[in-house]
Chains A and B, each alone.
Chain A
Amino acid sequence: MSYLIKRLFTMFVTLWIIVTLTFVIMHMIPGDPFATDAKSLPEEIVQNMREKYNLDKPLPTQYFLYLKDLVQLDLGPSIQSKSRDVNSLIADGFGLSALLGIQSLLIAIVVGIGLGVIAALNHNRLLDYVSMFIAIIGISVPSFILAPLLIKYFAVEWGLLPVAAWGTWSHSILPTIALAVSPIAIITRFVRASMIEILNQNFIKTAEAKGLHTWEIVIKHGLRNALIPVISFIGPLFAAVITGTFVIEKIFAIPGIGKYFVDSIFNRDYPVILGTTIFYSAILIITLFFIDLLYRVIDPRIKIASGGDS
């Protein structure tokens, strides 16, 4: 129990640090971050901004009002248009980004575990080398190089799939693949290393001595144990997929949060950059928290609450 509380506490501290950091950074920008941009903004928006950020009030007051907005889940306005604030932008883009992200994470997990297990079972043999070669290629080729190549061949030259933009589910295939490749490679390497270690453990020999088939050993005794260390890796992986959506949504012109985020970077739309950053951080940190809990459910050696009978 005390663990849960401690963990929740760290989570909020991290979030608070990020928020404070973004606030400080925002005020470190020389001049007025909301007006210094080369583009001359409509007076209306500048006014809106001043009000929103209480720029006329003293700094500590500004800080607390900013926190108060965040607690009420108001991520702030946009300087691009009066009607669109970060909340509405996230509401618009979330569905697409989540679909892309979840699809590619699932593919990455299934394919990555599969390749990793195959490699581990054939340690130092042909299939191991093949899997590792695929993995190392996947890690080496950045998605922003791979994506244009996928478009060029699958969409333009062979005409198998739509080129870009969004419409039917088939539009999501190429971006999903482009997004999944590097997580696949990372998971493959991780699962392979973890599985090789587990397969060398004594309890695997016990299982073998029971007369079990290799696949029974792998599934019943190997995987669960091998995946425990891999779970702790889902967090960074999730982060990689999120940052991956920035470039993938830009390249494929998919109107998800990632694309809005990149656009806001191009336009130096500071409030949107900050609001979105906080949103992403919050999602990641909450995910990390749940992964930590999952860890404890899967590994009976770690208990969330003491005295419980699992």
Chain B
Amino acid sequence: MSQPQINIDHLFRPADKESLHSDKIARPYESYGKEVIRKVVKNKMAVFGFVLLVVIILLSIFGPHMVSHTPSKQNLTQGNLPLSSEHWFGTDDLGRDVWARTWAGARISLVIGFAAAIIDLIIGVFVGGVSGYMAGRGKTGDRIDNLLMRIVEVLFGIPYLLVVILLMVMMKPGITTMIIALSITGWVGMARIVRGQILQLKQQEFVLAAEKLGTSHAKIIIRHLLPNMMGIIIVNLTFTIPSAIFAESFLSFLGLGVQAPTASWGTMANDSLGVILSGQWWRLFFPGLMISLTMFAFNAFGDGLQDALDPKSK
């Protein structure tokens, strides 16, 4: 390599290292939460999914009020009308406004989805947390873990939708019944994930240290373990919510979900099965589109979040 042409002779004397350190532009330390948000925001699909989700939720709140028709008001002279400025999404065979019904249906679907997922979350985190935390804590600890895991194992082997169908057949159909049926076995997946996480986290310094200091079990779980699993729990939520929504529309489609005249995406799809061939596509298209968009939004957002939480991703 050629020596620099400019005269550098005067530079051959000890450098002031202090200035070196102060000069150095410190890379700003990013908190974990901020880093995750930065990564999610960079992921176009995830952002798109999130925005879509917000729009759908807003429309489910305000949509039915944006038109003068109520979701279940029948008007037999106005049956099967195509899209118009009066009926934005057309009407069904009973003359009900499809726009109003679509967003009223969105409420049902979203409420059931969120409620079932949150119940799953609470039971799953509790069972998984206790099981994982007690594992390896003496004979009783292991016994508790074993017992809980046996239950989880058996429940995991039972086909989810079949159980739900069975329960729905036997109980009075309705929103509450649906939420109960969906969460009776739905928590198993969450419990398994949480237990696995706890088993890993337990080995880490800060948990061991807290234990040595005599911190109570509950406090260790709530203060130290749960916050470190938030990411995985949230990611799992972005997948359990849409699967509950899917289950709702699936059951309603089979006639097992919410009952007429309440609108839900599944019942609307079921009502319009035959008519799509005769040309009233809007009756199937809009509820179908909304289910699909909702599933898409959750999945896209969940994928992005999962990527962002993966420490291997840059």
Which A residues contact B (CB, under 8 angstroms)? 10-11, 13-14, 17-18, 21-22, 25-26, 28-29, 136-137, 139-142, 144-145, 148-149, 151-152, 156, 239, 242-243, 246-247, 250-251, 262, 265-266, 268, 270, 273-274, 277, 280-281, 284-285, 288
Interface presence of B299 (CB below 8 A) = yes
Question: In the assembled complex, how far is the CB of residue A265 from the closest CB belonging to chain B, in whole angstroms?
Answer: 6
Residue from A10, A139, A156, A281 within 8 A of B295 (CB atoms):
A139
Residue from A13, A25, A148, A242 within 8 A of B167 (CB atoms):
A25
Closest residue of A by beta carbon distance from B160: A239
Contact with A along B153-191 (1 / 0, CB 8 A): 110011111110111011000000000000000000000
C-alpha gap A185/B169 in the complex (Å): 30
Provide the main secondary structure of the chain B interface: helix
C-alpha gap A246/B161 in the complex (Å): 11
A280 touching B159, Cβ below 8 Å: yes
Question: In the assembled complex, how far is the CB of residue B266 from the closest CB belonging to chain A, in whole angstroms?
Answer: 8
10 closest A-B pairs by CB: A145-B288, A140-B296, A140-B295, A14-B157, A243-B161, A140-B292, A239-B159, A141-B292, A148-B276, A284-B159
C-alpha gap A177/B139 in the complex (Å): 52
A265 touching B157, Cβ below 8 Å: no
- Chain B residues with CB under 8 Å of A13's CB are 154
- Chain B residues with CB under 8 Å of A26's CB are 170
B269 touching A14, Cβ below 8 Å: no
Closest residue of B by beta carbon distance from A141: B292
C-alpha gap A280/B249 in the complex (Å): 21
14 contacts between A and B (CB under 8 A): A137-B292, A139-B296, A142-B249, A142-B292, A144-B249, A152-B277, A239-B161, A242-B159, A243-B161, A247-B250, A250-B254, A265-B255, A266-B255, A274-B166
B299 touching A17, Cβ below 8 Å: no
A265 touching B161, Cβ below 8 Å: no
- Chain A residues with CB under 8 Å of B269's CB are 144-145
A18 touching B273, Cβ below 8 Å: no
- Chain B residues with CB under 8 Å of A140's CB are 291-293, 295-296, 299
Question: In the assembled complex, how far is the CB of residue A158 from the closest CB belonging to chain B, in whole angstroms?
Answer: 14
A136 touching B161, Cβ below 8 Å: no
C-alpha gap A250/B284 in the complex (Å): 16
- Chain A residues with CB under 8 Å of B162's CB are 239, 243, 277, 280-281
